[in-house]
Amino acid sequence: MSRPLRLNVGLAAAGVALILILRLIDNDYAWYTGYVILQYVLLAVAWNILAGYSGYVNFGTAAFFAAGAYTTILLTKALNLDLLVCVLAAGLVSGALGLGMGWLTLRLRGVYFSIATLSLAVVLQTLVVNWPYAGGSSGAYTMRPQGYAVFGNYSEFLFVLMLVLALGGIAVAAGIERSRLGLGLATIRDDERAAAAAGVPTLRLKLIATAISGGMMGMAGAPLPYYASYLNPEAAFSLTHTINAMAMTLIGGTQGWVGPVIGATLLSTLQQGATVTISSAGNLLIVGGVLILFVMLAPKGILGLIRAWRGRGDTA
């Protein structure tokens, strides 16, 4: 079996195993928790496609995520479209948003790009707040069906949907790492000027990465209105999404898709636990605390720690 095929088969097997385990537990809370963890896996993997692979730090995660969620709200309200169609549409909308934002901002290098992306969320949120059809500042409700196709339980359906999206996102990220696009992004991250001198179409590759990354974030947000049954701009555009995706990736390690997956799984599990046992306000505190620890003690994340530890084992 080739490596990519092996990875995809492994991902599918892991997905089936997860579904079976949660079926055994069969409790709405378990499906919910799993959904949130997977949503952050997808967001972190998506964020890392731009930040980890090409070195461009995007502070607009919440904007892409919310654009996906509001795509669902609008398409459901206007055309009563199926959630699966909304997910695809959200991918396109947020992908296009990424392309547009990239077109405007990717000529800016380093920190200037990051500052520009931060303003995207502000602009979009202002737009939604002043748009009564989308629910305005008070938000919009979504009618949640009882079940969906073979799924008797809608929570299970949402979990499986997010699982498929997250695993798909991982497969895409892993594919990029092996591809010519991945090589080009790595040269941009290492030295953009040298990359251009070697014939790498830097702007085009950055635009492609922003579009893919943004599209994935939009898909992560698309089921949110159904998950929460109610969506308001504050929740959709919450800076929490931006900070979490970033912190989880940095804690896991930015070198490949494995880092964000580890970081998102660990941190969002911790957060879910804290929400129950302490308070929901403890979430960001945990992320902040863990992030500070990592920045000081292990700037290359968990993956970096593992590599350093293995390296020491080899030479000893």
Partner 1 sequence: MNAVLDVRGLGKTFGGFTALNGIALTVAPGERLGLVGPNGSGKSTFVNCIAGDFPDHAGVVLFRNRPLAGLKPHERARLGLSRTFQLPRPFRSLTVLENVTVPLRFSVPPLPVADARARARACLERVGLQDKAHSHPHSLTQVDLRKLELARALAPEPALLIADEVMAGLSHSEVDQILDLLFALNGDGTAVIMIEHVMRAITAFSQRLAVFVAGRKIVEGDPQTVLATPEVEAAYLGT
The site for partner 1 (CB under 8 A) is made up of 180, 183-184, 186-187, 189-191, 193-203
CB 39 within 8 A of CB 62: no
User: Comparing C-alpha atoms, which of 22, 2, 311, 5 is closest to residue 171?
Assistant: 5
User: Comparing C-alpha atoms, which of 82, 117, 83 is closest to residue 97?
Assistant: 117
What distance in Å separates the CA atoms of residue 236 and residue 218, rounded to the nearest whole number?
11
Q: Between residues 68 and 184, which has the closer beta carbon with respect to partner 1?
A: 184
Q: How far is the CB of 173 from partner 1 (least distance, A)?
A: 16
What distance in Å separates the CA atoms of residue 101 and residue 304, rounded to the nearest whole number?
32
Lookup: tokens for 36: 């949130």
Q: How far is the CB of 207 from partner 1 (least distance, A)?
A: 14
Q: Between residues 119 and 202, which has the closer beta carbon with respect to partner 1?
A: 202
What distance in Å separates the CA atoms of residue 207 and residue 81, rounded to the nearest whole number?
29
Q: Between residues 143 and 197, which has the closer beta carbon with respect to partner 1?
A: 197
Q: How far is the CB of 4 from partner 1 (least distance, A)?
A: 13
Q: How far is the CB of 76 from partner 1 (least distance, A)?
A: 43
H-assigned helices in 26-153: 28-54, 61-79, 83-105, 111-129
Q: Between residues 57 and 186, which has the closer beta carbon with respect to partner 1?
A: 186
What distance in Å separates the CA atoms of residue 24 and residue 156, rounded to the nearest whole number?
12
Q: How far is the CB of 313 from partner 1 (least distance, A)?
A: 20
Q: Between residues 77 and 189, which has the closer beta carbon with respect to partner 1?
A: 189
